[in-house]
Amino acid sequence: MRVKKDLELMDDILNIYDLSENSLKPYMYDSKDIDYMHTLLGAYERGKTIPAGLSRLVNGNLDKFIVVNYEDYPLTGTAMPNGTPIVNLAPLQASYITDLQSADLYSCFAYSAVFGNYIKNKPFKSTLVDQVALWMFNSFMGIYGKKSGLIGSYNNLTPKLRFIILLYTYDGLFGIKTSKKTIKKASGITHVDPKEMKLNYDFSDPVQFLKCIRDNGIISISENKFATDIIRVGKIYSIPMFEDLSRLFSTLLASVVKGNNVFPQYWAKKSKSIFEKMVFHGYRNLKIK
């Protein structure tokens, strides 16, 4: 499992804070506001059915959350390298703490708790490569398949896209360096001849990954266009899913919080069976005492 410090598709914003807890104090909410948030979280749990693992993770870490209003950070959550969850409410743009919606707040706490758990435990094994690559491929086809002419080109472009996605999933998400072995395995799965492909790219880098797709004539895409397209279908919070494994599963698990308007339902609607399998693996890889 690869843990990324920086996010290339979001202008290198911090993925995991390099800041100490003391340096975050100017942005933290006071104890009265935190107590109010805890009340909202409790009220939401009483009114909705929360997956047991998610509920235990949120409630078991209430005293550990760092909750800030950090306007320079566009995402709703992150974590310190030791797994301490950080919730950032600035993107919700609530003028007053009383304007916060309980479902939105719960989804942000759930996301940060899950992300912190993954950062601390680094649970994901290479056995999940095929499942994650399938989700990635399905996402690309959902966004670009029709307008890029991939739907009717299974015998040509579609397997090549899947081949490139497999290489990126190995290297960029799981940290398994591109080698003759990974290329051979991806070739065996997709039946693509590597000799027919341009493969002189750094598959640990999402920008290079997108360039490979473009240079092989599969989809005309740049990193800026890709980011714009992801924001269109899944909001800005979905961009990190495509370059950080922990954020991918954290986003999917947070999206199951019913009634929230932060983490989109787009990914669940694209392919229910693939989404449910990803959520299952996300829960299974949580380490909850």
260-281, pLDDT tens digit by residue? 999 988 999 888 999 999 999 9
Domain range for 28 is 6-121
Residues 123 and 68: their CA atoms lie apart, in Å, by: 27
pLDDT at 155: 65
Strand duo 66-68 + 85-88: pairing: parallel
* Predicted model pTM: 0.95
pLDDT > 70? residue 153: no
From residue 280, give the alpha-carbon distance in Å to each of 78, 128, 210, 259, 285. Answer: 22, 12, 28, 20, 9
Give domain status of residue 10, yes or no.
yes
> Is 261 domain-assigned?
no
Q: What is the token pair recorded at 198?
A: 């341009």
Kindly state whether residue 246 falls inside one of the protein's structural domains.
Answer: no
Residue 76 belongs to some domain of the structure: yes
Long-range contacts of 218-227 (CB under 8 A, 24+ apart): 218/148, 218/150, 218/157, 218/160, 218/161, 218/164, 219/140, 219/144, 219/148, 219/150, 219/161, 220/148, 221/144, 223/8, 223/9, 226/9, 227/9, 227/10
Q: What is the pLDDT of residue 17?
A: 67
Asked if 202 contacts 208 with a C-beta cutoff of 8 angstroms, the reply is yes
What are the C-alpha distances in Å from 97 to residues 39, 65, 73, 90, 254? 12, 17, 19, 11, 21
Contacts 24+ apart (CB under 8 A), 1-6: 1/122, 1/123, 1/124, 1/125, 1/174, 1/175, 1/245, 1/246, 2/172, 2/173, 2/174, 2/175, 2/204, 2/244, 2/245, 3/119, 3/122, 3/244, 3/246, 4/243, 4/244
Q: How far apart are CA 258 and CA 157, in angstroms?
A: 37
pLDDT above 70 for 22: yes
Confidence grade of residue 139 (pLDDT, cut at 50, 70, 90) = very high
Distances (CA, A) of 234 to 78, 140, 239, 263: 18, 13, 8, 8
Question: How does the average pLDDT of the chain come out, rounded?
Answer: 92
Instruction: Determine, yes or no, domain membership for 130.
Output: no
Report the amino acid identity of residue 183: I
Number of domains in the chain: 1
Domain annotation covers residue 15: yes
Cα gap 257→250, rounded to integer Å: 12
Write down the pLDDT at residue 154. Answer: 56
Domain contains 27 = yes
pLDDT in tens, 181-203: 999 999 999 999 999 999 999 99
Is 136 among the domain residues?
Answer: no
Averaged over 42-52, what is the pLDDT? 87
Q: Which DSSP state fits 28?
A: B
Range 111-122 average pLDDT: 96
